[in-house]
Amino acid sequence: MQLTIIIESYKKISKEGIAVDGFHFSDDIAYKNAMLISPKTYKELLFPCHNRLCDFFKSQGLPVMYHTDCKLNEALPLLIETGITAIHPLEAKAGNDVRR
């Protein structure tokens, strides 16, 4: 239901001529050491929702930014697979290396 509300809200503001530069959403899925849920659980529960949002906004020519405070070792490949195009933040104190 919430996905439908987000998508329909964007369609309404777009019809009114309101332009946006991209879509941003957040959902902390991890903490400083690892994901809060297993990658398998992410794929089963959250991936379909994240993927639907990414597919829709990409079809509108918009990048998708995702906020999650965490160590991204396990999460990043999954987030890339959903279609997310940017991460905020890339926390150095959680062990993330922007060069990697």
Could you read off the pLDDT of 12-31 as tens digits, one per residue? Answer: 999 999 999 999 988 888 88
Q: Decide if 99 is inside a domain.
A: no
- For residue 7, what is the enclosing H or E element? helix 2-15
Contact 12, 53 (CB under 8 A): no
Report in angstroms the alpha-carbon separations of 43 from 18, 37, 61, 78.
Answer: 33, 10, 25, 8
pLDDT score recorded for residue 49: 93
Q: Decide if 5 is inside a domain.
A: no
Q: Which two tokens stand for residue 74?
A: 């396990």
pLDDT score recorded for residue 27: 82
Q: Decide if 78 is inside a domain.
A: yes
Q: Decide if 14 is inside a domain.
A: no
Q: Decide if 68 is inside a domain.
A: yes
How many domains does the chain fold into?
1
pLDDT score recorded for residue 1: 66
Report in angstroms the alpha-carbon separations of 35 from 4, 13, 27, 56.
Answer: 27, 35, 12, 26
Q: Decide if 15 is inside a domain.
A: no
pLDDT score recorded for residue 31: 81
Q: Decide if 71 is inside a domain.
A: yes
Q: Decide if 7 is inside a domain.
A: no
Q: What is the pTM of this model?
A: 0.85
Which positions of the chain have pLDDT values less than 70?
Answer: 1
Q: Which structural domain range is residue 83 located in? A: 21-94
pLDDT score recorded for residue 89: 77
